[in-house]
Amino acid sequence: MVAPTTMSGAAALQLRYALRGGAWAAIYLACVLAPLFALLIGPLPPARDFWTEFSVAVGYSGLAMMGLQFGLTARFRFVTAPWGEDVIYHLHRQISLLAVALVVAHPLILFAVRPELVALLNSFTAPWRARFAALSTYSLIALVAMALWRTQWNIRYETWHALHIALALIAVAAGLAHMVGWGLYLESPMKRTLWIGLTLFWIGLLVYVRVVKPLFLLRRPYRVSEIRRERGDSITLAMAPDGHAGFRFKPGQFGWLTLWGSPFQITGHPFSFSSSAVATDGRVEMTIRNLGDFTSRIASVPPGQLVFLDGPYGAFTTNSEPADMLVLIAGGVGVTPMMSIVRTFADNGDKRPVLLLYGSRTYEEITFREELETLTGRLDLKVVHGLQNPHEGWSGERGFIDAEILRRQVPPPYAAHEYFICGPNVMMDGIERALSALEVPMSRYHSERYSFA
């Protein structure tokens, strides 16, 4: 008889996350498709041609997706845990593209089958319900365009974020007004109840994000206890809880930081925790590189300043039963979550081997260089630096951390290790392709892309 086997803690966690992720995906699809099924309930309007009815279904789906976008960015930990906050935000971006495609397809299909409706584009003569449709569509197109080309258009992150929220509210509100104005599928009380319920749900999400969560943060402030200048034009902010115990985080996670003003202001900024996760006094650290925008003001923050932290978030953490070796692959400021991992390992006395592949521009700009050298004596840590602009006599790796450096420095069997990747997108894309070519399962590597715009 074969003895029964028990599921490991890591496998059980992955199964639980997979089931939870599947459940939330099903709920999301149900919310998008519910308006379509509701069209078939109760009394129906006079039958029209297929393409007209199809365009209406497309418009309803696009409007439902637009409203649900408020939920994707509401930072519900029990929703984001299976995937990680960065994955949810990138999903939010892709769904925005799909939503704008559906919303734009709605009038285009109508214009194709009923050319006389093109006259509705004249805002001076069109009825209000058509004007609301145009306003919703134009707002959504502007929202997506600014998200795609914000950097090229040199729009400040704070300005973009405020416009993003304003345009999203206008797009959804005008879309609802357009739907009510036509009212073709709202004669049934059940259908009206459905859309009223969805609208109240979307409003509730907005109130939670902009009122309830800030009230909670207002009661749990932090104060800057120390400011340290680091190599690579970076600043470390050490923050201690003010009047409360703080929160515990896992190494590799991040939080949303509000430095100036109250937590009710529109824009917070996401940064990884760089400190050890085993601190018992609630103190946390974030190491922030000067990239010329909001980050250029970090050096002027005085000790004692009141700040607000919303966290922890992210699934960029070690498994409960990690592999035989951790391989940390970092580029530039992407080293900050890696520092949290190695500092936590050192404080816990963890002797499992850790390999850090760390790409920097020059030797002088290697953030945490001296501390990493010290940490090699506290845990089984090997650090391999790759320099884009090496000095004369440099004998180490050169250029971005890429597939060739990965193969030279990581010992086989490759699939037995656990990988963490954080840095520029070009580097991360190359490393992910290399790991796939080395037949490393996706469950063995974690990626953190730190652009949320």
Q: Residue 292: its pLDDT value, please?
A: 76
- The CA-atom distances, in angstroms, between 387 and each of 29, 229, 442 are 46, 21, 28
State the fold for domain 222-313: Elongation Factor Tu (Ef-tu); domain 3 (2.40.30)
Domain extents in the chain: 10-216, 222-313, 326-448
Q: Residue 44: its pLDDT value, please?
A: 64
Q: Residue 1: its pLDDT value, please?
A: 38
Note the pLDDT tens digit of each residue in 189-207.
777 787 888 888 888 888 8
β-strands 222-230, 306-313 pairing = antiparallel
- Is the pTM higher than 0.85? The answer reads no
Q: How far apart are CA 303 and CA 225, in angstroms?
A: 6
CB neighbours (10 Å) of residue 433? 12
Q: How far apart are CA 440 and CA 437, in angstroms?
A: 8
Indicate left, alpha or beta for 255 from its phi (over 0: left) and psi (-120 to 50: alpha): beta
Peptide bond just before 45 cis, omega within 30 deg: no
**Architecture of the CATH domain 10-216:** Up-down Bundle (1.20)
Residue whose structure tokens are 């201690």: 240
Note the pLDDT tens digit of each residue in 397-438.
998 888 899 999 999 999 999 999 999 888 999 999 999 999
Q: Extract the residue ranges of the chain whose pLDDT is less than 70.
A: 1-18, 20-21, 40-45, 81-83, 319-322, 450-453
- The CA-atom distances, in angstroms, between 425 and each of 156, 237, 324, 403, 447 are 21, 25, 27, 14, 10
Task: Look up the CATH number of domain 326-448.
Answer: 3.40.50.80
Q: Residue 241: its pLDDT value, please?
A: 96
Q: How far apart are CA 56 and CA 107, in angstroms?
A: 9
Q: Are 286 and 257 in contact (CB under 8 A)?
A: yes
